[in-house]
């Protein structure tokens, strides 16, 4: 009873307006926690016990930060301070002595400021008063230029740049940013094959976390071999990840591995007097809920969708990473796809911005992002997408200077033709594909470059930088112009792959052609030409990575070829499922056999069997089957164009910044519920459709539209 | 006996060629330890217990570094590894598992590489084999661009920039860079005034270190008030530095303060049951020996010299700092003078480069060094001086890109006239002087700018960057041209102070005029004009800081006015001694009285009584009385022009990169011993001088020269 009373009392205390406290949150210099966390995560990669860090420059957080905010209080208040680092605190520029944990801010207008130095962690503060609370409205700088002259007069700080503080969801004073950890949940293997001195565990599907040896004791060695496949776990000499332990425990104790691993199978071998009661795992995950969903009449597609969702979740961690077994790094091209899938499943913007900030790092730019030219360009394009889906202007306002300096880097690397060509240290990646030429001016890179410049123009307009908006637009027009004047081959009906020494090659690849379609860079005639002569042409080299399959199928969807795409999805992703995949792979070549599928990079088990870019059906099914996409930023207006793609019915949800759009579509009926903003349902019908909830407009022969309002449901009877 | 034997054995072990090990040293990315240490030192400032960090951007070390070197071994060897950070180690690109502490490098040609991640400290390695040892010949990078393609083939790394590793004198595997500490020595007060609950200690002279409470016990408070003056230590409410402790010790224990302080007097007050046996200090110092020296017939000058030497030592610490009480930061303008004094006393190049690297920090440049325009320019000029005195081309080769980017920053801040004018956030300092205008285009800044551009041209030539050498030379010529066309006032016979809105002011100050003399920017006629109308003109505002006195007296010396300067030194520095100074001050105005001398910045004890810039007599007496100065880099050729300046005799030594130059000069005799390189003794004599050791050449009427060779001594009889 006493407890219940206390609870009520506490409840009153918090809801009573007199006591109501605003919610404080840990804050830092924007982008800095992201960089720090990225360093930590990316430096956890090991390969058979060898530390394997990234090969590009890692940046650091600013180690000395000034935080401040102006308050106007009706009465004085006590304020608690929690700080990561060595600090001082001032009210109206007057410092307190020492490192106070509580201060009183007097009534009236006052500036509260803290200055924090921290080298190993990100300088961060958590300020909790009633009204004086730390949040994203505080201003921060890494150089306050607060000098005084010989009389003690302070400088005017007019040269200081203040940004809004960065934050996430660290709302507990006792859990500072440096203590951030993903969640864990203990799971057991579904099957254990126990022999003398060994255990082979099968966790039933691809998974990720810490192996836990329960009730471990004795003296001897424990060697753990991890496998995404059974073959890998048994291949003790060539499996990619391992843990080697020396045990000397007289008392039984649980022992959890220090580092996470990716696996389905775990081969635990031990000797000496070592014994253990059992082996389990702590599954590690970012707690983020699915908002989108998809079901249809085809059970294989449903299974593909579910495995894609699981694949994306496994790769959605501190950041959107490439794959859980091997790199566990942040790769811009991989992440660009995760962002897009995210918009159709999680709609978790912090995961997008965290990833983009970690990728961008700090000045100076000394190489392309991840050293890859295309990956720098994807970074820009991802901002274009991010703004379209979320309408987050604040992000662009805070980080426009970092966009500019990265674009300056690109502009400085143009060749005499104004095009991008790999210079020393530039990795021109495009795709993992045997014999793919990276020489000269690759058309694909120019295409991404043009879109990046368009992104810069968009952002320049958002921050009211009109001269640069004009500049970027002109540059984009110029590069787009060159794309067609230099690479379009009339007899091949396609953009050719590259120009070497000023001469266009005869080589046609899919890359530039498919992007040109969904970037809408081609007129209708060229679109159809590309469709026939490239996309549906078996003589053009096939794509074998889910990475580029993503864009290839997107291009086909954008051309209305959903029925073809349905078959491709079933063949390709279904093909992996048929081989027992429980998550989707880095690369899949149906021509390979058995354990050949696991090899890559010249290593038997080099391939990642859980790669984010394998999850693209989430995006394709959401955007091109349910057919929901914003037409203005943040879904202020949006389109719903359901496409069955040969399926009998589809049913799902697409998240938006404010509410979900529900779509059901069969060959007879379309049912829609709208989110905030104004939706337009667009569909074809051979007969005049009927909708009781709204007017059906005829756009042109056989094409109809219905306006979809927030929260309202519509049923349309039609005949596709 | 056993011990002695072991010692002999060890000695044999080390001298025997079969066992001879090369000396290993800790290495890091060049400049990074300096930045890290600078952050640590500069974030130790407190003001009455309040943490007081710098107000400019602090940079960080690169946290992920690749170290490598190619070796060719006649036989395999065992190599021990000591690493600060998480690391891997490879031979010929093949990694060892885990974090090995010892590896075997096989015979033959092999590349040994380590890759280290460390966020809180500087990634550093100490590699100790017989031949495989870490030293400054290893190569390092912060981005190795070591990607592989889908077949496992590695990239060519052609875009990677490798620098030579940084190092200092950390030759002990057990003392990594992060553990670096200055030396300490326990000292007692010379006088203790003990009362109930208080002790007033006098350490006899200005000093620096940790206060140690010996045999402390009891319960209560201990408040420690530090004073550079007795007045300050007694002014418990306004003294600048304090320690406030709460004691609860049942057992007697020594307690040493956590932070160093500057003081002569220490006022220890305690209450409750607190008691202590005594109070001592741990004097903290950089162990660096005097190589230069000066004595003369005037005991006051000798005393001034000694106090200057002590002042410089106190301020020569992790870096050359401004003053030991207050900022304890690295200020480029202050350090520029310390470097020059260093060349005449310590000749400790690591202290110069450490300081220059910490000041320069990293890309991107977001403000002037220390936020001060003149301080950026001094940084360049200091490189000019450093190269002249030491001939250290390697430093310039490693850091030329950082010079370029800092100069780019300056060039981007020129106004439409191509001149430097304070923009938002630029502190135009010049000097602490009441009412000194910083508006518009200040002539002094243009003068430093011209010299900085000359420095860049010099360095561009050293790194064989001919196009930029030409560019910098042209820019220097342009700025110098404008200096005379815009600021030279014929009727005032001087450069005027500034131009505001394109119009030269009528205001004449000493700054630009005195620098123009020793930069040798004036022809003979202008020099004499400046001497009469500015330097010796009491109507031109007087200089009150030793900082600018340094340059004022240098200009007078350069004009041959040593006799005048001798009087000035005796008056000004003698004036401080007469007031009881035991080290030289930040500012000295003879017009002030008593404790007025201690006030500055609107605070009673704001002034630093031990400021590096107060030690300039070291430089003046070495360069312009002993008269030794390099004429080509590293003293390959040098001049000895002894000047008595009204003294009966002078006697001293000037260090060079290879040996010291000894100079004795009286009104009858000059005695010289040469260092490496070719010296030229130049002196005036009314009669034909006699030298038994070398030919005396007559240069022109009354001016003679003798060539001074390495290690040789010369006696010249003459009549000045």
As a three-state string, the secondary structure of A321-363 is CCECCCCCCCCHHHHHHHHHHHHHHCCCHHHHHHHHHHHHCCC
Q: What is the mean pLDDT of residues B231-259?
A: 95
CATH number of B626-717: 2.60.420.10
- Name the burial class of residue B206, with classes exposed (0-12), middle (13-18) and buried (19+) by CB atoms within 10 angstroms of its CB: buried
So what's the ipTM on this one? 0.94
Query: Which of A39, A49, A423 is the closest to B98 by Cβ?
Result: A49
Helices and strands counted in chain B (H then E):
15, 35
Contact between chains at B145 and A427 (C-beta distance less than 8 A): yes
Do B601 and A54 count as a contact with CB atoms less than 8 A apart?
no
Classified by CATH at the fold level, domain A627-717 comes out as Maltose phosphorylase, domain 3 (2.60.420)
What confidence category does residue B699 fall into, taking pLDDT thresholds of 50, 70 and 90? very high
3-class secondary structure, A80: strand
Closest CB from B56, B115, B152 relative to A602? B152
Please name the member of B60, B144, B147 whose beta carbon is closest to the beta carbon of A60: B60
Q: What is the pLDDT of chain A when averaged over all its residues?
A: 95
Residue of B nearest to A142 (CA): B57
A144:B425 CB<8 A: no
User: What tens digit of pLDDT does each residue of B491-528 get?
Assistant: 999 999 999 999 999 999 999 999 999 999 999 999 99
Q: Is the pLDDT of residue B7 over 50?
A: no
The alpha-carbon gap from B146 to the nearest alpha carbon of chain A, in Å, equals 6
Nearest residue on chain B to A99, judged by CA atoms? B50
Compare all CA atoms of chain A with the CA of B95 and give the residue at the minimum distance: A50
Closest residue to A145, CB basis, from B53, B155, B425:
B425
| CATH numeric code, B293-623 | 1.50.10.10
Nearest to B366 among A98, A143, A148 (CB): A143
The answer to whether residue B155 scores a pLDDT higher than 80 is no
Q: Verify whether the Cβ–Cβ distance B43 to A64 is below 8 Å.
A: yes
pLDDT of residue A3: 43
- Which residues of chain A lie closer than 8 angstroms to B152, CB-CB? 601-603, 606
Query: Cβ–Cβ contacts within 10 Å for residue B518, how many?
Result: 17
Give the pLDDT of residue A596. 96
Q: What is the 3-state secondary structure (H, E, C) of A221-282?
A: EEEEEEECCHHHHHCCCCCCEEEEEEEEEEEEEEEECCCCEEEEEEEEEECCCCECCEEEEE
Fold of A22-179: Jelly Rolls (2.60.120)
Question: What percent of chain B stands above pLDDT 90?
Answer: 92
Q: Which whole-number Å values give the CA distances from A209 to A214, A321, A406, in the listed order?
A: 15, 15, 35
CA–CA dist A4, A10 (Å, integer): 10
Closest CA to B562 of B663, B647, B666: B647
| Domain extents in chain A | 22-179, 183-285, 293-623, 627-717
Contact A478, A414 (CB under 8 A): no
Res B19: pLDDT = 54
Q: Which of B577, B573, B665 is nearest to B628 (CA)?
A: B665
Q: Which of B53, B152, B427 sits opposite A115 (nearest CB)?
A: B53
Taking 70 as the pLDDT cut, the residues of chain A under it are 1-20, 156
The pLDDT mean for chain B works out to 95
For A65, which residue in chain B has the nearest alpha carbon? B57
Dihedral (CA of A597, A601, A605, A609) sign: negative
Quick check: B148 and A88 CB within 8 A? no
Q: How far apart are CA A618 and CA A340, in angstroms?
A: 9
**What secondary structure letter does DSSP report for B710?**
B
The pLDDT of B378-387, averaged and rounded, is 98
Q: Do domains A22-179 and A183-285 have the same CATH topology?
A: yes
Name the residue of chain B whose CA is nearest to A430's CA: B149
Helix H or strand E encompassing A141: strand A139-141
pLDDT band per the 50, 70, 90 thresholds, residue B11:
very low
The CA distance from B490 to B42, in Å, is 46
Q: Are A202 and A63 in contact (CB under 8 A)?
A: no
Indicate yes or no: CB of B53 within 8 angstroms of CB of A143.
no
The CATH number corresponding to A183-285 among 2.60.120.260, 3.50.50.60, 3.40.50.2300, 3.90.800.10 equals 2.60.120.260
Assign domain B21-179 to its CATH architecture.
Sandwich (2.60)
What are the pLDDT digits (tens) for B603-638? Answer: 999 999 999 999 999 999 999 999 999 999 999 999
- Give the Cα separation of A543 and A547 in Å (integer): 9
Q: Which of A161-165, A564-568, B180-184, B435-439 has the lowest mean pLDDT?
A: B435-439
Q: Which residues on B lie below 8 Å from A371 (Cβ)?
A: 143, 145, 147, 159
* Best of A42, A59, A143 to mutate (most B CBs within 10 Å, chain B): A143
CB B422 within 8 A of CB B428: yes
């Amino acid at each position: 009873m006493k407890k219940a009373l206390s609870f009520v009392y506490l409840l009153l205390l918090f809801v009573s307006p007199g006591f109501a406290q605003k919610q404080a949150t840990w804050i830092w210099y924007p982008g800095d926690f992201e960089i720090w966390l990225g360093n930590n995560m990316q430096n956890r990669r090991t390969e058979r016990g060898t530390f394997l860090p990234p090969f590009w420059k890692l940046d650091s957080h600013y180690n000395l930060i000034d935080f401040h905010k102006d308050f106007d209080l009706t009465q004085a208040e006590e304020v608690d301070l929690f700080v990561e680092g060595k600090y001082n605190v001032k009210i109206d520029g007057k410092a307190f002595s020492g490192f106070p944990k509580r201060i009183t801010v007097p009534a009236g207008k006052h500036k509260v400021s803290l200055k924090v130095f921290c080298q190993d962690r990100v300088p961060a503060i958590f300020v909790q008063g009633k009204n004086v609370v730390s949040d994203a409205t505080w201003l921060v700088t890494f150089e306050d230029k607060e000098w005084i002259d010989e009389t003690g007069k302070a400088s005017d700080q007019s040269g200081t740049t203040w940004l809004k503080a960065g934050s996430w969801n660290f709302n507990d004073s006792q859990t500072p940013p440096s203590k951030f950890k993903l969640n864990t949940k203990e799971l057991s293997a579904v099957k254990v094959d126990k022999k003398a001195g060994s255990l082979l565990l099968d966790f039933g599907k691809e998974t990720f976390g810490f192996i836990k040896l329960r009730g471990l004791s004795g003296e001897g060695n424990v060697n753990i071999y991890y496998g995404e496949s059974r073959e890998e776990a048994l291949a003790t000499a060539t499996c990619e990840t391992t843990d080697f332990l020396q045990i000397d425990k007289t008392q039984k104790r649980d022992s959890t591995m220090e580092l996470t691993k990716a696996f389905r199978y775990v081969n635990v071998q031990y000797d000496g007097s070592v014994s253990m009661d059992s082996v389990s795992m702590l599954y590690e995950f970012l707690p983020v809920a699915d908002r989108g969903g998809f079901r249809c009449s085809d059970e294989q597609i449903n299974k593909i969708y579910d495995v894609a969702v699981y694949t994306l979740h496994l790769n959605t961690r501190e950041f959107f990473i490439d794959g859980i077994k091997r790199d566990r790094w942040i790769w811009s091209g991989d992440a660009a796809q995760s962002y897009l899938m995210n918009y159709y499943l999680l709609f978790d913007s912090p995961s997008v911005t965290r990833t983009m900030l970690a990728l961008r790092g700090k000045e100076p730019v000394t190489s392309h992002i991840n050293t890859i030219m295309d990956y720098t360009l994807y970074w820009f394009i991802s901002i274009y997408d991010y703004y379209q889906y979320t309408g987050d202007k604040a992000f662009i306002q805070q980080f426009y200077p970092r966009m500019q300096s990265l674009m300056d880097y690109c502009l400085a690397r143009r060749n005499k033709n104004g095009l991008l060509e790999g210079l020393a240290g530039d990795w021109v990646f495009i795709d993992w594909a045997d014999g793919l030429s990276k020489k000269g001016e690759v058309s694909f890179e120019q295409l991404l470059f043009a879109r990046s410049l368009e992104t810069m123009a968009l952002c320049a307009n958002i921050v009211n930088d009109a001269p640069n908006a004009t500049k970027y637009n002109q540059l984009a027009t110029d590069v787009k112009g060159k794309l067609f004047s230099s690479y379009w081959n009339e007899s091949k009906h396609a953009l050719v792959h590259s120009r070497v020494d000023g001469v266009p090659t005869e080589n046609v690849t899919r890359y530039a052609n498919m992007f040109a379609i969904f970037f809408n860079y081609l007129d209708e005639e060229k679109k159809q030409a590309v469709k026939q002569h490239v996309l549906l042409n078996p003589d053009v080299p096939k794509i074998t990575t889910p990475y580029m399959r993503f864009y290839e199928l997107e291009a086909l969807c954008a051309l209305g070829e959903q029925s073809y795409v349905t078959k491709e999805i079933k063949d390709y992703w279904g093909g992996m499922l048929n081989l027992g995949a429980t998550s989707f792979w880095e690369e899949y070549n149906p021509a390979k056999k058995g354990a050949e599928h696991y090899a890559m990079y010249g290593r038997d088990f080099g391939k990642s069997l859980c790669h984010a870019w394998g999850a693209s059906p989430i995006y394709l099914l959401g955007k091109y089957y349910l057919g929901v996409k914003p037409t203005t930023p943040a879904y202020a207006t949006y389109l719903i164009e359901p496409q069955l793609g040969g399926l009998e019915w589809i049913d799902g949800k697409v998240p938006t910044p404010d509410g979900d759009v529900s779509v059901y579509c069969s060959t007879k009926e379309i049912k829609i519920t709208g989110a905030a903003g104004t939706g337009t349902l667009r569909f074809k019908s051979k007969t005049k459709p009927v909708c009781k909830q709204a007017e059906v407009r005829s756009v042109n022969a056989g094409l109809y539209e219905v306006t979809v309002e927030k929260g309202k449901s519509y049923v349309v009877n039609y005949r596709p």
